[in-house]
Amino acid sequence: MFKAVVYVTLKESVLDPQGNAVKGSLHSLGFDEVNDVRIGKYMEVELNVNDRVAAEERLKEMCEKLLANTVIEDYRFELVEA
């Protein structure tokens, strides 16, 4: 069994209105030292697979098909045997 941690982030060139909103809120709260905020997604996926290569292959497919929108987002993942 494997546990995967998947990170999905907006590509550098894509505007991040949610991040800007959080930055604005932090400024209103007095955190003026905040220059920039970018928001992404974090997912933990438990896989009932015994082979690391197979797990990587399947995770890649999941990211491409559902977890990330590859037009505007990048993804990466880490696999840990559980």
Q: Give the binding site for a copy of itself (CB under 8 A).
A: 1, 7-9, 19, 22, 25-26, 29, 31, 33-49, 58, 61-62, 65-67
Which of 50, 59, 62, 51 is CA-nearest to residue 78? Answer: 59
Distance CA 52, CA 3 (A): 10
Residue 30 or 71 with smaller CB distance to a copy of itself = 30
Residue 22 or 79 with smaller CB distance to a copy of itself = 22
CB of 48 to a copy of itself, least distance (A): 5
The total number of residues written for the chain in this structure: 82
